[in-house]
Chains A and B, each alone.
Chain A
Amino acid sequence: MAELLVQTGLNALYAAAYMSLIAVGLVLIFGVMGIINFAHGELFMLGAYVVVALYADFQVPYVLVAALGLVFVGCVGVAMEWAMFRRLRDNPLGGLVASIGFLMILQALVSMGFGVRMAHVPPVTQEVIIFSERVRLPVQRLIVILAAIGFLTALWAFLTKTRFGWALRASAQDQEAAALQGISINQTAGIAMFIGASLAGIAGALTAPLISVNPHMGHSVIVAAFIVIIVGGVGSLEGAVLAAVIYAFVHTFVTTFADGVIADVVGLLLMLVVLIIKPTGLFGTADRA
């Protein structure tokens, strides 16, 4: 039993890792631009398909592919900002609708290019760290966990130690006052989109060898990401990370000890309970919610 708990804990840690990469990006984009990016799950999917295209089909070294996935999806994010969100800046509902449209376009393009069936990604490493007979951690999962810790730490350092980091937080808190300091909203929105999208992209690239890659894989993570954001408090990055960890542990444990459908229900219940007890989320403040 103890071994099963430890193993489930490791599984949950892995789920929390990629979930927080996705949720933090979504929160960052919402904070700076006030736009709910429904296409965020598809950015995750694009990251996975970069691996399918370059690693599975052309055997480009995996590390290089992951880096390319990060940059490529980040650039898609910048393009989204420029082509859609910038033009709909005074119209958050329009931004949301545009992102839903873009989500469908991405799904259609990937389906046309790669087919709707699950894409096969050969394992990057078969190595497994064996703690005991029933406690094992595949190295690919360990990579995801370490990468998430690394990227989130880097993001934290960027936001708290650099002038563009201050600028991003300032425009998330008061866009007009930020403009009065000479901070261009076009610039901060572009940076927020690049970071948010590239984090979703790297999450997709890192998990591609471990999950079923298909054009509609964005769906499941976007629902989870929204639960995480609401639980954590809309607009709070640290809330998103903490809520991702809580959600991943709850979801993974319920999946293991009951089943996946019940786990989804429990996840939504978790969101409901938080909304009833603390409508602003665990870390949210009233004015952002």
Chain B
Amino acid sequence: MLLEMKRASVNYGSVSAIRDISLAVPEGGIVTIIGGNGAGKTTTLRAISGLARVGAGEIHFNGERIDKLSVDKIVGRGIAHVPEGRRVFPDLTVEENLRTGAFLRRDKPAVEADLESVYGRFSRLRERRKQLAKTMSGGEQQMLAIGRALMSKPKLLLLDEPSMGLAPVIVEDIARIIEEIKGQGVPVVLVEQNAELALDLADYAYVLETGTLALEGPAAELHDNAHVRAAYLGV
């Protein structure tokens, strides 16, 4: 397993956000975490990238325990996190945003090559390379946030609600991009409220309810699960 979370809990003050969550991400697949508002999906990702501190339990990445490392160290290990709400740097240009993603990399020629490949994948970003990120549409900002994460050459990509607030046609673009990323062998942990989209894309799925793990299984199986269908797919 590339990433393993073992019985992890996170508290915000005296409020428990997630309890006893165990999950595993294999090499080269898409794992999704679905669930309603406040179920603990975002907190789970934040625990992996170190933004939230794990109170109990452990997180291992590539065989190394990472839950005590600082955020920048975890990024350095190869985990890229596209946070909820995209969080691009509003007053940096598109290109500066992308280069910031490669902050820790010293292999300059490879960074230039990766910049070209991000521009190749997202032609809108190339057109707008000199523009400030805040002047772009929500869909473009989401692409920029994903592009910025790819610039770190991640071994694992965490995506928090990439479809949030986007028009259906843009959501399709994002879905295609996620599949491309998987196709290049970068495993993805996808957090989504759009369970339909998430279960279509993912190989394996976890369902969180009020901070605990309610269900898990291959995405296709969960797609046919009666509880999931009633609670998350609206059928």
A residues contacting B by CB (< 8 A) are: 163, 166-167, 169-170, 173-174, 176-184
Q: Which of A166, A174, A177, A183 contacts B96 (CB 8 A)?
A: A166
> Is B173 in contact with chain A by the CB < 8 A criterion?
no
Bound Cα distance from A92 to B87, whole angstroms: 22
Known A166-B100, A176-B83, A176-B87; contact A181-B75, beta-carbon cutoff 8 A: yes
User: Which of A167, A177, A180, A184 has the most chain B CB within a 10 Å cutoff?
Assistant: A180
Chain B, Cβ-Cβ closest to A176:
B51
Chain A, Cβ-Cβ closest to B96:
A166
B 77-113 contacts with A by CB, 8 A: 80-81, 83, 87-92, 96, 99-101, 103-104
Q: Is the CB of A181 within 8 A of B90?
A: no
> Is B42 in contact with chain A by the CB < 8 A criterion?
no
> Is B49 in contact with chain A by the CB < 8 A criterion?
yes
A174 contact set on B, CB distance < 8 A: 87, 89-90
A178 contact set on B, CB distance < 8 A: 89, 100
Q: Chain A's nearest CB lies how many Å from the CB of B202?
A: 22
> Is B172 in contact with chain A by the CB < 8 A criterion?
no
Chain B, Cβ-Cβ closest to A236:
B91
Q: Chain A's nearest CB lies how many Å from the CB of B45?
A: 11
Q: Is the CB of A170 within 8 A of B51?
A: no
- For B43-79 the 0/1 string (1 means CB < 8 A from A) is 0000001010000000000000000001110011000
Known A163-B99, A170-B100; contact A180-B89, beta-carbon cutoff 8 A: no
Q: Bin chain B's interface residue count.
A: 20 to 34
Q: Is the CB of A179 within 8 A of B92?
A: no
Q: Is the CB of A181 within 8 A of B49?
A: no
Known A163-B99, A180-B49, A184-B72; contact A169-B148, beta-carbon cutoff 8 A: no
Bound Cα distance from A176 to B88, whole angstroms: 11
A163 contact set on B, CB distance < 8 A: 99-100, 103
Bound Cα distance from A167 to B75, whole angstroms: 15
Chain A, Cβ-Cβ closest to B82:
A180
Q: Chain A's nearest CB lies how many Å from the CB of B91?
A: 6
Q: Chain B's nearest CB lies how many Å from the CB of A96?
A: 24
- For B192-209 the 0/1 string (1 means CB < 8 A from A) is 000000000000000000
> Is B32 in contact with chain A by the CB < 8 A criterion?
no
B104 contact set on A, CB distance < 8 A: 181-182
Bound Cα distance from A167 to B101, whole angstroms: 10
A183 contact set on B, CB distance < 8 A: 72, 100, 103
Bound Cα distance from A147 to B62, whole angstroms: 51
Known A177-B83, A181-B103; contact A166-B72, beta-carbon cutoff 8 A: no
Q: Is the CB of B70 within 8 A of A169?
A: no
**Lowest 5 A-B CB distances belong to which pairs?**
A182-B75, A182-B104, A177-B87, A179-B71, A184-B72
Q: Chain B's nearest CB lies how many Å from the CB of A107?
A: 36
Q: Chain B's nearest CB lies how many Å from the CB of A32?
A: 13
Bound Cα distance from A178 to B75, whole angstroms: 11
User: Which of A166, A177, A182, A183 has the most chain B CB within a 10 Å cutoff?
Assistant: A182
Q: Is the CB of B99 within 8 A of A182?
A: no
Bound Cα distance from A288 to B96, whole angstroms: 20
B72 contact set on A, CB distance < 8 A: 179, 182-184
Given contacts A174-B90, A182-B103, 19 further A-B contacts (CB under 8 A): A163-B100, A169-B91, A170-B100, A173-B90, A174-B89, A176-B51, A177-B83, A177-B87, A177-B88, A177-B89, A178-B89, A179-B51, A179-B71, A179-B75, A180-B81, A181-B75, A181-B101, A181-B103, A181-B152
Q: Is the CB of A173 within 8 A of B92?
A: yes
Q: Chain B's nearest CB lies how many Å from the CB of A279?
A: 19
Bound Cα distance from A173 to B71, whole angstroms: 17
Known A166-B100, A167-B103, A176-B51; contact A184-B87, beta-carbon cutoff 8 A: no
A166 contact set on B, CB distance < 8 A: 92, 96, 99-100, 103
Bound Cα distance from A43 to B140, whole angstroms: 44
Chain B, Cβ-Cβ closest to A160:
B96
